[in-house]
Amino acid sequence: MVNVMIRKARVIEVRYSSPHQLLVCEIVAAPPPIGAEPAVSFQPGDTCRAICYPDLIGYAGVGDTVQIEVSPLAKNLGTGGAAMVLANESRLPFDDLPNPGHLVKARYTPYQKIVLGADEPDSPFHSVLQAADSLQGLPVLVADIHSALPAIVAGFLQGRPDGKIGYIQTDGGALPLAFSRVVAELKAEGLLATTITCGQSFGGDYEAVSLPSALLIADLVADLDAVVVTQGPGNLGTDTRWGFSGIAGAEALRVAAALQGHPVAVLRMSSGDARPRHYGISHHTLTMLTWMELPPIDVVEPVFQADCPVEGPLADPDSSFAPLVASQMSLLSEHHRICPVETAGLYGALEDFPIKFSTMGRSLSEDPAAFLAAAVAGKYAAELLNKA
């Protein structure tokens, strides 16, 4: 059985067009598939939002007839819960070939994208990367989920205002970089120096075949002071030990170490998640750092200060949060180097940061531990550079 729900729709509004298009569509009548039962949802006259990627589909305009895939809406998913435009029946996308490059992303799907990889022979950087084998101590901050990215950047820039920090998107979540509005906002504000997409992910300032290539591009081509590695939006979890897309963070830490970088683990922590498996330090982080036989690496521990003006577990001496985290950090200390970093001044810096913070629908005030834990990792990377 093919688990898709495709509808024909008319575009009635274009909400925005960067970094992707967000359309409001009205379902229109169309002949049902041969042998299909009548549709029970998303019927003619219903409206929904849909994402269109101009690089793949072309730009859509009001009045266009489009085909949209609505199963994420029917499943009521989180980050991935949006309809996607499959095709525009009113106009074709523009041609972007022939161009240099033969690196195919989203390979063997109807929407595969040919790009120029910085590491392939047609690239002007090929000769630089051909013999490259060392990151020369580059701080590589690895996070489980995409929502940690802006807080890491904020912490890094607080400690190193003139520093150049970039982002490598792996292919565990969204494949198009254009899905991330956070990345677009960081770039627009001049807070993120560059973006690199690797594996099946695409749309960065630089494209890379593999994660090792992406890391070497960050150091030798983009000349970054530090780089963040995480999947795109849309972390997938299953409430099992191994079934989560962020497990690929272990590979990123191992590769950074193998290439003589300075890997730094960013704790996924929460003081606001109602799920016990993610409260305190997430079981995703604990699995990644204790079961994957990593070499000893730096794990940044937030030392919470009293200047966080939010009611909740961080301010409650009787809360289970602090002893739970202490126990979890004790476990991590059996495998890695624990690097305590005080959060003093960081909450205010996060409040003043021009990018809105959100993780699983929770804001900075609703889950301060999540963003402070990410920010101290960025601050630690800045301290590494300041000591060099």
The CATH number of residue 74's host domain is 2.40.50.220
Report whether the peptide linkage leading into residue 124 is cis, meaning its omega lies within 30 degrees of zero: no
pLDDT of residue 1: 44
Single out the residue in 88, 110, 139 at which a domain terminates. 88
Same domain, 83 and 152: no
Strand order in the sheet with 139-142: 206-208, 195-198, 165-170, 226-231, 139-142, 262-265, 298-303, 337-342
Contact predicate 144/251, CB 8 Å:
no
Tell me the CATH number at 303.
3.40.50
Q: Half-sphere exposure of residue 152, counting CA atoms within 13 Å on the CB side?
A: 32
Same domain, 80 and 168: no
Task: Provide the domain limits for residue 330.
Answer: 126-387
369 in a domain, yes or no?
yes
282 in a domain, yes or no?
yes
Same domain, 140 and 15: no
Please give the chain's pLDDT, 388 residues, in tens.
Answer: 457 889 999 999 999 999 999 999 999 987 777 777 766 788 899 999 999 999 999 999 999 999 999 988 888 777 667 899 999 999 998 887 767 888 999 999 888 989 999 999 999 999 999 989 999 999 999 999 999 999 999 999 999 999 999 999 999 999 999 999 999 999 999 999 999 999 999 999 999 999 999 999 999 999 999 999 999 998 888 989 889 999 999 999 999 999 999 999 999 999 999 999 999 999 999 999 999 999 999 999 999 988 888 878 988 888 999 999 999 999 999 999 999 999 999 999 999 999 999 998 999 999 999 999 999 999 999 999 988 7
Same domain, 36 and 136: no
DSSP assignment letter at 306: T
116 in a domain, yes or no?
no
**Domain count across the chain:** 2
Same domain, 79 and 185: no
Beta strands in 47-201, from DSSP E residues, in sequence order: 47-52, 65-69, 83-88, 103-105, 113-115, 139-142, 165-170, 195-198
Q: Half-sphere exposure of residue 153, counting CA atoms within 13 Å on the CB side?
A: 31
Amino acid at 271: S
Same domain, 47 and 130: no
Single out the residue in 42, 69, 88 at which a domain terminates. 88
Same domain, 61 and 205: no
pLDDT of residue 366: 95
100 in a domain, yes or no?
no
DSSP assignment letter at 219: I
150 in a domain, yes or no?
yes
Same domain, 81 and 151: no
Single out the residue in 25, 60, 88 at which a domain terminates. 88
How far apart, in whole angstroms, are the C-alpha atoms of residue 36 and residue 30?
A: 13
Same domain, 73 and 134: no
170 in a domain, yes or no?
yes
Same domain, 74 and 184: no
Angle subtended at Cα 93 by Cα 89 and Cα 98, rounded to the nearest 5 degrees? 145
pTM of the model as a whole: 0.94
Same domain, 77 and 169: no
118 in a domain, yes or no?
no
187 in a domain, yes or no?
yes
Residue among 125, 122, 137, 209 nearest 168 (CA): 209
Same domain, 46 and 137: no
How far apart, in whole angstroms, are the C-alpha atoms of residue 239 and residue 157?
A: 35
